[in-house]
Each structure stands twice: as structure tokens, then as C-alpha cells.
Amino acid sequence: MTNEYDFNCVEPRSSCTRTLLSSRAPVYGIDIGSPFNVTALQIRTDSLTDRRIHNLETELSKLRLLHNLGKDKLRSLQREITHYQTGLDLLCSTLHQHKGLYKPLPGIETPVEAIRPTVSGITSHSVTTIVSPLGDHAVVQVSVRYSTTETHEVIWAYNVLGHMVPVVEGDPYSSVRNEKEGEQLITHLYIDSRDLKDLELLYVKILSEFSEVTILFNKDSLMKEGRIKLSPVKLWNEEPSPEVFVLSPDQNATITTNIDTNIDKLTTFVNFIGIDSSVIPNSLLDLQLSDRRISSSITNTTRGFKWSVMLEPELVDIGGMLSLRIVEQLQNGPVLQIHVGKTMYIIPDKPGLQKAPFPRNSLALLSLYKHTRQTISTKAPIGAVWCYAFGNPAPTTKILRFTPTGKRQLLKGRVYNIGQYDSAQVVVLSNVSISDEGQYMCEAKSGTNVVVEPVYVSVT
């Protein structure tokens, strides 16, 4: 049997009827083939079914509307993506054009990653002290956690009679271990607690070509275990901090940086190193703010402090290295001071001459012992002799000793080539005795130039 139905609906929906076209099955007990043949039959649906149909059609209308809105939004987003893609293509094209025109300065190598705008290049994060009992005494571990993307040196040192003595392998006082943990670096110093009382000052220097962080420790607080977070002063610029300035030697130069700090009193230092090659032997200019050719000003702004250093044309014409340093004093804990600094090359823009901070074929020594009349006073068990030179091309240094018979003895020292135009070497005198007293000499060489400076070691 086959039933065929034709649904005819007219408004309103409550009057929707069904018409039975044909059927051979009995309907409500009436045989279609009987004399009471039914040609059409109307069936009224209930109100609940009508509401469901109405609700479904309403939802369908909403879905159609959302579908149309989605299509319009998609077309709008596609247009925006096309717009941004066009702008990005233009920027990339311009960048490639500028890269093709860029020519690096001869003799100047910038870091692989530029100094980030918010930091000086090296950031110290924390200091941890651990005391480990060892028999009748203890070993103190001092750990500094820091981060940097620059090639750098870590120098742990202490003072002996006012002179810096770095910690080296085989040091009778202490030892050093460096490690990396994720993106951060950690340097550890291990020192016998009995030796702390003999040290005048303990500190660590983290140095790169353009950045510096120095932490001075309170040796009386190192026997207390703990960890302190550091939030030192930060030097930053609106754009990645430049390290090389090519300036007109006919005009004053202003070098500006910004200071981020939460301390009220700032202690700042400015140092300018230059080589006067107009005299033979060359003369080294080691200038501070007391020199009339350098001035400095700090102004308070809505975004912190703005630090400006002005150089007169005479210094720009000579060229050199300008170092800016800020000192933060801490009131308690194992840290006394934090020094944060940056160094920049000042290059005079002179046609036909090499773009470098020092004149070509120039060389000069930094007189570290001039204030003590070229004499180093030291005492048992340890001391040090330093030799520090600046020049172009990059200098090399060595330290010699004159034996009682007058012969020159070359001493093996540790070399620090932190920058491209300076070199430092130190000879640590371990187990100092009266036999170490005598005449020494610092010698530097750059190209065909050689300079020397005598120094006398006195054992007290």
C-alpha cells in the first residue's frame, strides 16, 4: 500500500490542513472503495508543533543573518590584510635598499645584538651567599646572577694596600667558577672565611667593550646566608643605544642618555680617554669632569632623569673613549655599591682619515701608579702589577722584571683584551716575599711604536 499526501498550508498556521489524495487503506473505518468514498481529508496540527516550526524558522533566519554578517566581516578582514601586507612589502623593500647602502665604519665592529633600549648592556639580578662549615672554619660562596648578550670578562678582585688584585687560578685566597643557567649567567666566588678579615675590599667586575657592572661587597656581611634581588640603576635610550659617534670636530658635541632609578641621590662619573699624537711620545689624556672641556647636566623628566654630557670641539677633534658611570649606594646586606656604566667611541669626522677613536699609529700607556710615584706597595701573601695601554692598531702589553744581575725577565700574566683599542695585562705575585721587591717595567707595542714605563715593587 502506498499513501500519498499533499500538505497545503495557508495563513494562519493554525489552519494548516492535510489533504488525502488517494488511499486503498481504510481511514477511520471507512473503505475508500465503498459507496462512502472520501476524496479529501483535512487534518489540523496541534499548537505545540506550530510553535516549534515557528521557532525553527526564527533560528534559521538568525543563522542566515549571522552568515551574511560573517561574510561581510571576512571580506573586510581580507581587505585589511591586503592593506597591511602591502605596507609590509614596502617596509621590507625599503629595509633591503638601506641595507644595500649601509657601509660599516672601518675598524669598528658593533655587537651582534645591539644594546637593548632599557639597559646598559649588562644586568645584574641577584646576589646569594652560602656559608659551608669546614673543620674549625668555613668556606663562603658568593654568587652573582646576571645576563648579557655581549662578549664579556668576569673579574673577581680585592684590594691590597689600595691596589687591585684579581683572583686567578691557584690564588691562595679564593677560586672562581662560572656557569650558565638558561638565559642567565652565574659567577661564583669561593673564599676561606679566615681570609676575609685580611681583605680591604672585595668586588666583581663584569666588563664588555661597551658596558660595565661592578658590585662592591660588604665583607662583614658575607658570613650571613641569604639572597637579595638587585634593581640597579639602568641607562637607556629611546632607540637602541649607539656605541659609536662620528662627530664634527668644529662643533660642541652632546651625548645624551636616560637614567632609570628609584634612589634620590645620584653619584655620577665621567671619564674621557684620548691620545694626543701631536707629541712624541704620544700623551694620554685621562680626563674627568674637573676638566673645563667636559661638562655634565642631569634634568628630571616625566620618564626619569636625562643625563647630558657636553664635549668641546677640542676633545672631539682628538677623539677617544667616553665612559659614563653611575653609582648606587646600598644601606644593608652583603652589597655596598653597584656601579653601572657604558662606554662610547667618539670619532672625529675628518675626510680621508680612518674612522677610529684614536689616530692611526698612536700609542700611550695609562699611568696607574703615577699618584704613588711609580711605586707599588704590597705585602704577603699576594700582590699584583698592572700594565694598561691604548692605541691604534690594537696594542699588546707585557710585564718584565729586572733581575739583580740586570737581565730582563719576561713574566707571564693574564691578558684582558676587552675593547678593540685597549689592552690590559696583570701579573699576580703569589706568595709574596722580600725577593719579589725590585724594579719592573710595563711595555706596550702597537705597530712599530713601543712605549715603556718603569714601576718599583716594595714589599712591606
The secondary structure element, H or E, covering residue 192 is strand 184-192
For residue 103, the model assigns a pLDDT of 57
Q: Is residue 111 part of a domain?
A: no
Q: What's the residue count for the chain?
A: 460
The predicted pLDDT at position 49 comes to 82
Instruction: Compute how many other C-beta atoms are within 10 angstroms of the C-beta atom of residue 415.
Output: 13
Mean pLDDT of 103-132: 64
CA 395, chain centre distance (Å):
28
Distance CA 34, CA 12 (A): 35
Question: Is there a domain that residue 340 lies in?
Answer: yes
User: In this structure, are strands 267-276 and 244-247 parallel, antiparallel, or unpaired?
Assistant: unpaired
Whether the pLDDT of residue 116 is over 90: the answer is no
* Mean of pLDDT values over 166-180: 79
- What is the per-residue pLDDT for 408? 94
Domain stop point among 288, 318, 348: 348
**Is the pLDDT confidence value at 317 over 70?**
yes
Is there a contact between 150 and 109 (Cβ–Cβ < 8 Å)? no
The answer, yes or no, to whether residue 219 has pLDDT greater than 80, is yes
Beta-bridge partner residues of 198: none
For residues 32 and 123, the model is more confident at 123
Task: Indicate whether 291 and 386 sit together in one domain.
Answer: no
Do 233 and 169 share a structural domain?
yes
Is the model's pLDDT at 376 over the cut of 60? yes
**Nearest residue to 294 (alpha-carbon basis) of 279, 308, 281, 275:** 308
Rounded alpha-carbon distances, angstroms, from residue 437 to 156, 158, 403: 25, 21, 10
Model confidence at 7: pLDDT above 80 = no
| pLDDT at position 231 | 75
Neighbour-count burial of 331, counting CB atoms closer than 10 A to its CB (0-12 exposed, 13-18 middle, 19+ buried): exposed
Please tell me whether residues 163 and 244 are part of one structural domain: yes
Indicate the average pLDDT of the chain: 82
43 phi, psi to nearest 5 deg:
-125, 120
pLDDT at residue 216 in the model = 94
Q: Find cell 543563522 and name the residue.
A: 63
Assign residue 433 the CATH number of its domain: 2.60.40.10
> In sequence order, what DSSP letters do the residues of 73-136 get, joined into one string?
HHHHHHHHHHHHHHHHHHHHHHHHHHHHH--PPTT----SSPPPTTS-SEEEEEEEEEEEEETT
C-alpha cell at 265: 641621590
Q: Out of 48-62, 91-105, 351-365, 413-427, which region has the weakest mean confidence (pLDDT)?
A: 91-105
The fraction of the chain above a pLDDT of 70, given in percent, is: 82
Is 401 a domain residue?
A: yes
Q: Is residue 158 scored above 50 in pLDDT?
A: yes
pLDDT reported for residue 402: 95
DSSP single-letter state for residue 437: -
Residues 266 and 161 in one domain: yes
The pLDDT of residue 33: 46
Which cell numbers in the block locate residue 440? 719592573
pLDDT of residue 146: 94
What pLDDT sits at residue 5?
A: 42
Confidence category of residue 63, pLDDT binned at 50, 70, 90: confident
- DSSP code at position 293: T
pLDDT at 31: 44
Instruction: Give the model's pLDDT for residue 291.
Output: 95
The number of domains in the chain is: 2
340 and 373 housed in the same domain? no
Cell of 348: 672625529
Considering the domain boundaries, does residue 131 fall inside one?
yes
* Other Cβ atoms closer than 10 A to 346: 22
208, 232: one domain: yes
Tell me how far apart the alpha carbons of residues 187 and 207 are, in angstroms, rounded to a whole number: 13
Does one domain contain both 417 and 286?
A: no
**How do residues 223-281 score in pLDDT, each as one tens digit?**
889 899 887 778 887 666 678 999 999 999 999 988 887 776 778 999 999 999 999 89
Q: Cell 639580578 appears where?
A: 125
**Does residue 403 sit in the same domain as residue 338?**
no
- Residue 278, Cβ neighbours under 10 Å: how many? 10
Strands of 253-260's sheet, edge to edge? Answer: 234-236, 253-260, 304-311, 294-301
Using DSSP bridges, classify how beta strands 375-378 and 449-459 pair: parallel, antiparallel or unpaired. parallel
- 16 within some domain: no
Identify the band that residue 26 occupies on the pLDDT scale cut at 50, 70 and 90.
Answer: very low
Verify that 326 and 386 share a domain, yes or no.
no
Distance from C-alpha of 212 to C-alpha of 324, rounded to nearest angstrom: 10
Predicted pLDDT of residue 35:
45
pLDDT tens-digit map of 418-433: 889 999 999 999 889 9
Beta-bridge mates of residue 332: none
Which uninterrupted H or E stretch holds 72?
helix 47-101
Q: What percent of the chain has pLDDT over 90?
A: 46
Peptide bond preceding 393 in cis form (omega within 30 of 0) = yes
Domain coverage including residue 256: 122-348
Tell whether 336 and 240 lie within a shared domain: yes
* pLDDT of amino acid 105: 52
Instruction: With respect to residue 101, please indicate whether it lies within any of the assigned structural domains.
Output: no
How far apart, in whole angstroms, are the C-alpha atoms of residue 397 and residue 450?
10
**401: confidence class by pLDDT, cuts 50, 70, 90:** very high
For residue 27, pLDDT beyond 50: no
Does the residue 389 lie in any domain?
yes
Q: Record the cell numbers describing residue 279, joined without a space.
A: 707629541
Task: Give a yes or no: residue 320 inside a domain.
Answer: yes
| 322 & 404 share domain | no
pLDDT band of residue 117 (cuts 50, 70, 90) is very low
Q: How would residue 106 be classed by pLDDT, with cut points 50, 70 and 90?
A: low
- Specify whether 258 is located in the same domain as 158: yes
Question: What would the pLDDT profile of 189-209 be if each residue is shown by its tens digit?
Answer: 998 888 888 788 899 999 999
